Amino acid sequence: MKSDEAGVRLYFDGGTFPLNPGHGGCGAVIIQENDEQSFSKYLGENITNNQAEYGGLILGLEKALEMNISSLEVKGDSELVICQVIGSYRCRNSGLRPLHRQAISLAKQFEHIHFDWIPREINKKADAAATEAIQSVLPQSKAIIPDNLPLCKAREGLKKRINHLNQQGDGAKFKEWIQLKSGRDQFSSLRGTRLHEAVPDSVLDAISQALIEDEQDLLDKSLRWYLRGLKPALAVKKARVDAEISANITRKKSAL
């Protein structure tokens, strides 16, 4: 593969919903001069986030070849995918190897190609395309929790982390969500009616509607994180992150 500063740019992204693995979607955006084209693809169920990221890259490369583009500058926010494709990292995961080989094969068909990692905030268009792919199959994933809902004061002992996450929102790093731990507190024992009555009806309704059918067990967990001070949408995100970590631990134990 030759490397060059190409005039045509390809941005790619992929994601899963509601957890990782989950329903996978990928997106690619090709920009050349005054023309911009966006592509989305639903990848199916039980897709990992890294598989979805590779899906976005493959989708973009295929579309660029169909458009007879010979020189390409590829940009994505997945350090793993970028580094594996350029050879800085080895691809050891059996679920990624076929995708890695496909991406390499497509990349070799360009006269000039260059890969760059970019921060997530610069990759919003490709992220939106990936989200659109999931929403085309799962309309309930479109549920948006309003920003103007009432908030709770951040719990003592968690104030610094919670205020930081509320400011960063989806821009916060995954490890920052993992590092937020409540321990046992006054909200841990709240369940059912007592818990629901402690939350404003507008927040309870918004969070309930944002959770899909398979996620109803996350309702109480989301409400507790709301009471600890997270914004409603971020309380749901925190509950999903915790569920994802628990599921990964269970899978690893089952594999032993």
- Looking at residue 2, its pLDDT comes to 41
pTM over 0.85? The answer is: no
- Looking at residue 120, its pLDDT comes to 87
Q: Check whether 253 has a pLDDT greater than 90.
A: no
Q: Would you say 38 and 15 are in contact if contact means Cβ atoms under 8 Å apart?
A: no
pLDDT digits (tens, 9 = 90+) for 87-112: 999 999 999 999 999 999 999 999 99
- Looking at residue 129, its pLDDT comes to 97
pLDDT digits (tens, 9 = 90+) for 139-156: 666 567 888 999 999 999
Q: What is the band of 4 on the pLDDT scale with cuts at 50, 70, 90?
A: very low
Q: What is the band of 20 on the pLDDT scale with cuts at 50, 70, 90?
A: confident
Of 203 and 135, the structure prediction assigns the larger pLDDT to 203
- Looking at residue 171, its pLDDT comes to 72
Q: Check whether 5 has a pLDDT greater than 60.
A: no
Of the ranges 2-6, 176-180, 243-247, 249-253, the best mean pLDDT one: 176-180
Q: Check whether 19 has a pLDDT greater than 90.
A: no
Q: How far is CA 195 from CA 84, 122, 162, 192, in A?
A: 46, 39, 20, 5
Average pLDDT, the chain: 91
